[in-house]
Amino acid sequence: METGVEMGRSGPSLAWRLAAAIALTVGFYSLAIAIAAGLLAVAILPWALGGANNIWVTLTGFVFGATILVAIFPRRIRFEPAGVLVTATGQPRLIGMIEDEARAAGARAPDEVYAVLDANASVMQRRRRRVMFIGVPLLLGSWVGLAFSALFILAIVWRAVQEERVLRAELSGYESYAARVRYRFVPYVW
């Protein structure tokens, strides 16, 4: 079956992925601008044309339309490090491993590395500097670190169960809500 997509060893070619990424980006911004324009038109046109005016529709359309426009335009957000800075002098083995992995992936190594409490790792670009966030459970390099993450999850579940008991006992109407919304965390499970 011919799809018109040039396939490489692991999927569509880089050119096809680039074209798809550009099309999706243009489509997203076009849709956002169209929705914002429609909301602003609903807010402004009745007043400009002298027809029936509803202040709530005007305010809602203006607030939502302006919010969408503000949200889609890039702005500089001040960088606040989320964790502890890890340096090559303090952790030479870790920084060496990160540099080796970046080299093996054909990517530039991060300029700054921060240890955070998430069980996750990520890299972001801040101006011309690459910043990596690596979770402490991953830094520990063992199941012990992930076990602590599991304990945090269990603590959250325990708190949710306690909160559910209080809501059932003290909030009128919560029983009917709980009957309609059966699953709290995992759909079709719990």
In a domain, 131, yes or no: yes
**What integer pLDDT is reported at residue 81 of this predicted model?**
79
Contact 158, 151 (CB under 8 A): no
Q: Verify that 48 and 88 share a domain, yes or no.
A: no
**Residue 42 is part of which domain span?**
8-72
For the segment 123-159, what is each residue's pLDDT rounded down to a tens digit?
888 778 899 998 876 666 667 767 777 787 888 888 8
Does residue 148 lie within any of the structural domains?
A: yes
> Do 62 and 112 sit in the same domain of this protein?
no
Q: 157, 185 in Cβ contact below 8 A?
A: yes
Token pair of 122 as six digits: 């990520």
Say if residue 108 is in the same domain as residue 130.
yes
- Global pTM? 0.44
**Residue 180 to residue 159: CA distance in whole angstroms:** 22
Tokens at residue 175, please?
């029983």
Confidence of residue 1 (pLDDT cuts 50, 70, 90): very low
Q: Hunting for tokens 């302006």 — which residue is that?
A: 66
Q: How many domains does the chain have?
A: 3
**pLDDT at residue 36 is higher than 90:** yes
Taking the C-alpha atoms of residue 181 and residue 184, their distance in angstroms, rounded to an integer, is 7
